[in-house]
């Protein structure tokens, strides 16, 4: 059909028609899928939590499929009804030696709780994790027992003094399992890691390095230390364009404090699996009158964690062996939002974990239902 010279030229100069054809096919398929999505709508149904007035964008959207997936740790919770004490029953403090906390429990409930704590914290090692292999349960020679005793007191204090945060929506409470989840050391504890850039001094030594504490951003890596340990004021900026004085010194935050605050807020968002408008009104972050109810709950949580770190966790430093201390400063392990929440708005998705453990609900004598 074609002249011989044309056929010879084509044979000598082959053309790659497959590359352009594949490119056209990929683009065409992308256009087709996009058109299908526009016509059919979002293929994955979403749900949202309305956190403020409608029309202001104050909502937290999530895929319904994700919302339907429970926290796998919920399956590990222990359901064990307390044993109602009878009049005249001997107390654990009278039966066993050196019972400094929980001594007012009956023998049955004392051992019931000890068995639960073992499963929450040391399911593999068993009782020996705190009491050793020699069976001398009264001894305080093992550091884990001393630490566990203080952690029981901390748990009781959280349930009693911080119900405004822990039980903001309904009774939930906390137990050892809330943080430990069957591990000796809870996940998502933290240590001091500054400076992260040893080649420089000052502010530059704590930022511009992606670290876990800065949520792998270039924001300052000392936000947890500054706000959840040193209790510094959390602040972003002043509403006035010109303010007399030195930022960060004369009572108002500067840009550096704003960056540190953003680092903390990143951490909080990731810890709870929410975005900024879960607590804040995006049109007025600065105005406390326009925040959501969750803002107050979170504020209580920050103050609670400050107390946990300074009153309970940091003072235990001398009890720990070197391998349990921080790698840079040899500091004690500390808690923050993610230690309990693990990426959920409420730890264990709001499961009532205290209902079977009134012994941990308060620092006083437990109240057992009839």
pLDDT in tens, 214-265: 999 999 999 999 999 999 988 887 777 788 888 777 878 888 888 999 999 9
Average pLDDT, the chain: 89
282 and 355 share one domain: no
pLDDT for 163: 96
Binning pLDDT at 50, 70 and 90, where does residue 43 land? Answer: low
Strand partners, 256: none
Answer yes or no: is 23 within a domain: no
The average pLDDT across 92-101 equals: 95
From the number of C-beta atoms within 10 Å of its C-beta (0-12, 13-18, 19+), residue 31 rates as exposed
pLDDT over 70 at 293, yes or no: yes
151 C-beta neighbours (distance < 10 Å), count: 19
Summarize pLDDT for 155-180 with one digit per residue, the tens.
999 999 999 999 998 999 999 999 99
**Of the candidates 89, 107, 109, 38, the residue with the CA atom closest to the CA atom of residue 366:** 109
Same domain, 220 and 326: yes
Question: Measuring CA to CA, which residue among 134, 145, 151 is closest to residue 315?
Answer: 151
- Residue 311 belongs to a domain: yes
Task: Give the single-character DSSP code of 185.
Answer: S
Do both 255 and 284 map to the same domain? yes
- Name the strand (E) or helix (H) holding 48: strand 46-50
Q: Which H/E stretch holds residue 62?
A: strand 59-63
* Helix residue spans in the chain (DSSP H): 4-12, 18-40, 64-67, 92-95, 107-121, 128-131, 143-161, 163-166, 176-180, 223-228, 255-272, 293-307, 337-341
Is 240 in the same domain as 291?
yes
CB 340 within 8 A of CB 177: no
Whether 199 is in a domain gets the answer: yes
Give CA–CA dist 109/116, Å, rounded.
Answer: 10
CA-nearest of 62, 60, 63, 44 to 52 is: 60
Best-predicted range by mean pLDDT among 22-26, 69-73, 253-257? 69-73
For residues 304 and 334, is the Cβ–Cβ distance under 8 A? no
Q: Are residues 354 and 274 in the same domain?
A: no
**pLDDT at residue number 26:** 84
Least confident of 43-57, 264-278, 290-304, 349-363: 43-57
Long-range contacts of 287-292 (CB under 8 A, 24+ apart): 292/51, 292/52, 292/58
Closest CA to 250 of 261, 260, 240: 240
Q: Are residues 87 and 177 in the same domain?
A: yes
Q: Which of 4-18, 43-57, 233-247 has the highest mean pLDDT?
A: 233-247
Q: Does any domain span residue 40?
A: no
Q: Cα 367 from chain centroid?
A: 30
Burial class (CB in 10 A: 0-12, 13-18, 19+), 172: buried
6-20, 84-98, 280-294: least confident range:
6-20
Q: Which residue has the higher pLDDT, 49 or 230?
A: 230
CATH of the domain at 239: 1.10.468.10
Is the per-residue pLDDT at 88 higher than 70?
A: yes
In a domain, 304, yes or no: yes
Longest dimension (CA), the chain: 115
Whether residues 285 and 356 fall in one domain: no
The pLDDT of residue 42 is above 70: no
The verdict on 317 and 175 lying in the same domain is no
pTM value is 0.84
**Count of beta carbons in the 10 Å neighbourhood of residue 116:** 19
Q: Which long-range contacts (CB under 8 A, 24 or more apart) does 283-286 make?
A: 283/56, 285/236, 286/236, 286/237, 286/239
Q: Residue range 117-129: average pLDDT?
A: 96
Residue 300 is classified by DSSP as H
Q: Are residues 155 and 229 in the same domain?
A: no
- According to the model, what pLDDT value does residue 168 have? 93
pLDDT per position as a tens digit, 136-156 = 899 999 999 999 999 999 999
The number of folded domains in the chain is: 2
Q: ∠ at Cα 186 (348, 60), nearest 5°? A: 40
For residue 3, the model assigns a pLDDT of: 82
Is it the case that residue 202 has pLDDT exceeding 90? no
Q: So what's the pLDDT on residue 122?
A: 97
Distance of CA 361 to the CA centre of its chain: 21
Q: Is residue 123 one of the residues assigned to a domain?
A: yes
Is the pLDDT confidence value at 321 over 90?
yes
Tell me the C-alpha distance between 346 and 274, whole Å. Answer: 11
Within-domain flag for 87 = yes
What range does the domain containing 308 cover? 188-341
Residues 294/283, Cβ–Cβ less than 8 Å: no
pLDDT at 17: 66
């Amino acid at each position: 059909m074609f002249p011989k010279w044309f056929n010879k030229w084509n044979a000598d100069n082959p053309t790659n028609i497959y590359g352009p054809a594949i490119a056209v096919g990929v683009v065409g398929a992308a256009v087709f899928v996009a058109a299908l999505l526009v016509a059919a709508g979002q293929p994955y149904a979403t749900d949202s939590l309305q956190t403020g007035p409608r029309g202001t964008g104050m909502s937290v959207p999530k895929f319904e499929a994700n919302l339907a997936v429970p926290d796998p740790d919920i399956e590990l919770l222990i359901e064990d009804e307390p044993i109602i004490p009878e009049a005249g029953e001997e107390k654990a403090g009278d039966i066993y030696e050196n019972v400094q906390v929980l001594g007012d429990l009956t023998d049955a409930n004392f051992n019931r709780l000890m068995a639960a704590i073992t499963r929450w914290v040391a399911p593999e090692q068993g009782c020996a994790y705190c009491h050793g292999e020699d069976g001398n349960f009264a001894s305080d020679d093992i550091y884990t027992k001393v630490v566990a005793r203080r952690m029981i007191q901390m748990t009781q204090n959280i349930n009693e003094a911080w119900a405004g945060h822990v039980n903001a929506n309904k009774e939930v409470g906390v137990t050892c399992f809330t943080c430990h989840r069957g591990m000796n050391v809870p996940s998502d504890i933290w240590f001091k890691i500054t400076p992260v850039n040893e080649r420089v001094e000052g502010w530059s030594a704590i930022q511009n390095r992606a670290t876990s504490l800065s949520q792998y951003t270039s924001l300052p890596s000392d936000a947890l230390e500054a706000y959840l340990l040193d209790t510094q004021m959390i602040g972003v900026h002043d509403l006035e364009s010109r303010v007399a004085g030195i930022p960060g010194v004369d009572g108002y935050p500067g840009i550096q404090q704003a960056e540190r605050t953003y680092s903390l807020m990143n951490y909080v968002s990731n810890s709870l699996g929410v975005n900024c408008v879960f607590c804040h009104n995006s049109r007025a972050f600065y105005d406390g009158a326009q925040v959501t109810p969750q803002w107050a709950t979170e504020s209580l949580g920050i103050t609670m964690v400050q107390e946990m770190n300074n009153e309970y966790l940091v003072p235990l430093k001398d009890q720990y062996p070197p391998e349990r201390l921080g790698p840079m400063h040899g500091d004690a392990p500390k808690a923050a939002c993610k230690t309990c929440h693990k990426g959920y708005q409420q730890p264990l998705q709001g499961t009532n974990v205290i209902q079977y453990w009134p012994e941990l609900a308060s620092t006083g004598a437990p109240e057992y239902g009839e």
